[in-house]
Amino acid sequence: MNIIRLKLTPVILCFLGIFGFARAQSKKINIIYIGDSITYGAFFTNPSKDAPPAKADSVLKSMGIDIVASSNQGHGGFTTLDFLPHTDAFKQIEVVANKFKDNGATILFSIMLGTNDSAMDGPLGAPVSKEHYYENLKAITDQLLMDYPGSIIVINRQTWYSPNTYNGARYLQEGLSRLKSYYPQIKHLVSWYRKNNTGKIYLGDTRGFHYFKANYLTSLRPEDGHQGTFYLHPGKDGARALGAFWAKAIYKSINRN
C-alpha cells in the first residue's frame, strides 16, 4: 500500500495557495461547521483544539483569513434528518449564526453530512436513499439561504470508512456503497444552485474520501466492532489532514465569492 502523509508544512501551505488564494486575505469570516462525530471530533479529549474544524481554522489563519468567530456544530450519530429546518440542531445553528451576523463578517457554513445517513440501520432515518439525501441537503441549504442570504455555503464530500464498519450502527459494504452514491448528489445540488443563480453554494473538499481510503492505517483510528477492527474516525494526523482539505475548499470558495 502506498501511504501518503499530509503535514501542515510550508510546502503544503504553498500547495494550498496555488489557486491564487492571496486575493482573499482581507476577507473577514465567521465559520459554522455542520456535521456528525467526525466534525465534532469524536474520541479527542479536547475537540476545540484537535478536531478537524480547529485544524481548518488554524490553516486558514496561517493563510491570512481573518476568522472573527468559529463554531463547531458537529453531533455524533446525526444524519441530514437531524439537521432539517425546525429541528433542535438546526435551531442551535440559527442561535449561533444570529450571534455572529452583527459582527461585520460574512457567515460561511461548512457542511459534511452523510456518513450516518449511509448506514444500514441505527442512526435516524438510515438508510437514507440518495434521492432523499439530496432532498434533505437541499432543504437545509434552502433554509440557510433564506435565514442568511449573504452567507457562503461549502458542501464537502464525506470521508471513507472501512467496509466492515459496525459499531452501534451497521454500515458495512452496503453502507459504503450508499455513501459513494451521495457524492454525485452533492455535485448535482451545487450545480443546480449555480444554474439557478441562487445563493453562493460551492463544492467543498472532494479529496478526503480517497486520502483516507489510501491512508486509513495512519490517519483513522482503529476501533473494535462487531466484524473486527474498523476505521471510521480520524486520529490526530487524520484530523490535521481533513482540516487542511476543508481549509483549501473554504479558501477557494471565499476567493470565488
At 167, the pLDDT band (50, 70, 90 cuts) reads: very high
Neighbouring residues of 231: CB distance < 8 A, sequence distance ≥ 6? 161, 162, 165, 212, 216, 217, 220, 221, 222, 223
Superfamily of 10-16+25-256 according to CATH:
SGNH hydrolase (3.40.50.1110)
Mean pLDDT for the stretch of residues 207-232: 98
Quick: pLDDT tens for 134-144: 999 999 999 99
For residue 137, the model assigns a pLDDT of 98
| Cell numbers placing 157 | 464530500
Partners of residue 164 on adjacent β-strands: none
- Asked if 133 contacts 114 with a C-beta cutoff of 8 angstroms, the reply is yes
16-25 pLDDT, tens digit each: 444 444 444 4
pLDDT at 223 (0 to 100): 98
Q: Where are the domains of the chain?
A: 10-16+25-256
- The reported pLDDT for the residue numbered 197 is 79
Instruction: Please give the radius of gyration of the chain, using alpha carbons only, rounded to the nearest integer.
Output: 17
Strands 220-225 and 228-234: antiparallel
Using pLDDT thresholds of 50, 70 and 90, give the confidence band for residue 26. Answer: low
Q: How many CB atoms lie within 10 A of CB 188?
A: 12
Give the full edge-to-edge strand order of the sheet including 66-74. 66-74, 28-35, 106-112, 152-155, 200-203
Window from 28-32, 37-41, 197-201 with minimum mean pLDDT: 197-201
* pLDDT, position 215: 98
Residue 11, pLDDT score? 38
Instruction: Render pLDDT for 44-86 as a digit per residue (tens, 0 to 9).
Output: 999 999 999 999 999 999 999 999 999 999 999 999 999 999 9
